Amino acid sequence: MFDEVDERLPPTSLRGWLSDIFLPALLDPSDKVVGHLIVRLGHRATVDDPIFGRASGLPALERFVRDLSAWLKKRQAAFERIQFTIGVDHDVSEGVLRLVTRGEAVALPIAVVAQRGRSREVELRIYYSSKLTEGVAPRPPFVPEDEVLTLPAVVRTHIEALRTADLDALVGCFEQGGGVREASGIRHERGDALTAFYEPIVRQGGARVLKGAVAYDGRTCALEFSLVGIGTDDVASRAGLWVYEIGDSGLLRDLRSYSDEF
């Protein structure tokens, strides 16, 4: 079922999963559609963006949404949706945002995560590489660690191989033709390119991440996590999003990152 509209606000014709309609509504040329989006978000919503920060409650959300919409339109932004994943209480929309920043045309991988609460609360978290925009500090974690979070076997193997700095196991998580797409948009296919991608991480002693929240539909697993360590060194905990696409082989066809972890 689509997430519900706040009954205390005027009705809106804007329908759909919030993660899926958020960016198209922001980019719609009609200011009326942006207004409908604010209504859909409602009094209990929170939105977090790498550049614009965090906003909660209707007055702050209205400023946030209108400022973000104007920022995107000024940069001639267009959005191409590539994947949508529904979980138990999370849904995730992935795509590519094309825009002009600092006089250069950029194709920016972007994902919107919507977390739905029992009392119509909703939190939208937007993930993309800050390196391709103005460059801001890493974001603190959004969701607490969930030690009992159920994940597909290959995802668990990948996280453990990162922790133990096991290069063979990391590469072995991917099927032939599979690979990692960084938040920058660069893809590393299994073979020399994927090995070269993971080698610096392994030389540093691997990486430790804490599982936070997941949307999993049996094929695609979108995992929000916190990076807490590189090798034996602790790092300031920061939020990340990886989307694992599992092939018929049970191995990874794709791992798409929407955050700057390494």
- Digit-coded pLDDT (tens) for 172-214: 999 999 999 999 999 999 999 999 999 999 999 999 999 999 9
- Show the domains of the chain with their CATH numbers: 18-128 (3.10.450.50), 153-257 (3.10.450.50)
Q: Which residue has the tokens 């360590």?
A: 229
CA atoms of 234 and 208, how far apart (whole Å): 9
pLDDT at residue 1 in the model: 36
CA atoms of 122 and 131, how far apart (whole Å): 28
The DSSP string of 164-206 is HT-HHHHHHTEEEEEEEE-TTS-EEETTHHHHHHHHHHHHTT-
Is residue 134 pLDDT above 70, yes or no? no
The whole-model pTM stands at 0.91
Say how many C-beta atoms besides its own lie within 10 A of residue 57's C-beta: 12
pLDDT at residue 158 in the model: 98
CA atoms of 221 and 211, how far apart (whole Å): 12
Find the angle CA(4)-CA(15)-CA(3) to the nearest 5 degrees: 25
CA atoms of 258 and 77, how far apart (whole Å): 18
Q: Which residue has the tokens 């794709």?
A: 254
| β partners of residue 47 | 55, 124
134 or 106, greater pLDDT: 106
